[in-house]
Amino acid sequence: MADATEIWLPLGPGTVEGLPDSLTYRYWDGEEEFPADPANCAFYVVPYMKGPEISVRPLERMTGLRVVQTLTAGIDHLVPAIPRLPAGTRVCNARGVHDASTAELALALTLASLRHLPESVRAQEHGEWAPGVHQALADKHVLIVGHGSIGSAVEERLRPFEVGTVHRVARSARTAPHGPVHALEDLERLLPLADVVILTVPLTDATRGLADARFLGLMKDGALLVNVARGGVVDTEALVAETARNGRLRAALDVTDPEPLPRAHPLWRAPGVLITPHVGGATSAFLPRAGRLLREQLKRWVAGEPLEHVVDVA
């Protein structure tokens, strides 16, 4: 380890049990004042869901930094700062921490949209009894775009619902436990087959704007787009054209671009669009899993063992 041994955590003292006693912990969750000299921080756990500006603010002063650990699966909010980190600094993501919560929400958004639950809620507010025949998830053809740990968790939760088929797409082709994973190049062939398209890809240069006008245009009439990835994966103007303007597609979105979505944005009022405010990972399941990740990572670090989930090195 480097001379700097302080650990900056966004979780309060005593929140995470079982952390190594040999380290000095500083609590910082994005407050204006730093808890100590950032130069003494060797292991920085990024505040959760506080935005890129807060996430990177102490980094330029963390001259003894060796590890940056996010509590998110994506690291897009840190990417611009990575080249300026001290050489050799490892950047680790929180793979696995949000799988259960995000997969639950993906399924909830899918079911709510197919069964028109938002319309029923609005009818209830007016005391209206509004029966109808809606779509079931059973027998539907589902395309999961992004088959990492979250995409795999989504598929596991889909299986009891008697879906017709599940197609999987990732950056490169491979074989998964329940069938083949196709490469991104196969999207044009698979999109017209899907009744439901669920996005779980990370936001990278390769995936930014992935669901553009051509992507959406290849989806069948009445299909549902579910986005629990990042807002930037979808071309917002193209989505507005397919929902608010012509109503050809439905959408269920936990993330948007921009975010938060401005009050006057047409997606708020688009027919068949359901929006939640980026709450995929913000559940009671977060803290136990985040704590487990931090315990294991810090134990490995103290012991000089390889860290898990290293996604970049400065």
pLDDT digits (tens, 9 = 90+) for 258-283: 999 999 999 999 999 999 999 999 99
Q: Which of 77, 278, 289, 309 is catalytic?
A: 278
What percent of the chain shows pLDDT beyond 70? 99
Residue type, 310: V
Q: What pLDDT sits at residue 3?
A: 66
Q: How confident is the model at residue 2 (pLDDT cuts 50, 70, 90)?
A: very low
* Residue 4 predicted with pLDDT over 80: no
Domain co-membership, 147 together with 92: no
Domain co-membership, 158 together with 20: no
Any domain includes 234:
yes
Q: What's the half-sphere exposure (Cβ side, CA atoms, 13 Å) at 151?
A: 24
* Average pLDDT value for the chain: 95
What would the two tokens of residue 222 be? Answer: 């009445």
Is 199 in contact with 229 (CB distance < 8 Å)?
yes
Q: Residues, the chain, total?
A: 314
Domain co-membership, 168 together with 270: yes
Nearest CA to 6 among 296, 298, 292, 287?
298
Any domain includes 185:
yes
Domain co-membership, 173 together with 227: yes
* Residue 289 predicted with pLDDT over 50: yes
Instruction: State the sign of the Cα–Cα–Cα–Cα dihedral 169, 175, 179, 185.
Output: positive
Q: Which of 230, 250, 289, 309 is catalytic?
A: 230
Give, as one character, the DSSP assignment of residue 234: B
Is 95 in contact with 202 (CB distance < 8 Å)?
no
Is 289 a catalytic site residue?
no
Is 115 a catalytic site residue?
no
Is 50 in contact with 29 (CB distance < 8 Å)?
yes
Is 191 in contact with 143 (CB distance < 8 Å)?
yes
Query: Who contacts 79 (Cβ-Cβ below 8 Å, separation ≥6)?
Result: none
For 44-65, what is the mean pLDDT? Answer: 95
* Domain housing 65: 6-97+284-313
* pLDDT tens per residue, range 188-219: 999 999 999 999 999 999 999 999 999 999 99
Is 196 in contact with 98 (CB distance < 8 Å)?
no
Any domain includes 1:
no
Domain co-membership, 53 together with 142: no
For 71-91, what is the mean pLDDT? Answer: 94
Domain co-membership, 271 together with 139: yes
Domain co-membership, 62 together with 104: no
Domain co-membership, 51 together with 124: no
Number of structural domains found in the chain: 2
Instruction: Provide the β-strand partners of residue 25.
Output: 7
Is 173 in contact with 180 (CB distance < 8 Å)?
yes
Domain co-membership, 66 together with 193: no
Q: Which of 259, 265, 292, 300 is catalytic?
A: 259
CATH label of the domain that carries residue 212: 3.40.50.720
Q: How confident is the model at residue 1 (pLDDT cuts 50, 70, 90)?
A: very low
| Cα distances (Å, whole numbers) of residue 132 to 59, 125, 135, 162, 293 | 55, 17, 10, 22, 46
The distance from CA 48 to its chain's CA centroid, rounded to whole angstroms, is 12
For 226-244, what is the mean pLDDT? Answer: 97
Token pair 């889909």: residue: 158
Is 254 in contact with 74 (CB distance < 8 Å)?
no
Q: What pLDDT sits at residue 5?
A: 83
Q: What pLDDT sits at residue 14?
A: 83
Query: Who contacts 249 (Cβ-Cβ below 8 Å, separation ≥6)?
Result: 216, 219, 221, 222, 223, 224, 225, 239, 242, 243, 272
Residue type, 201: V
* pLDDT tens per residue, range 102-134: 999 999 999 999 999 999 999 999 999 999 999
Is 278 a catalytic site residue?
yes
Domain co-membership, 89 together with 125: no
CA dist., res. 90 & res. 309, Å (int): 10
Domain co-membership, 84 together with 103: no
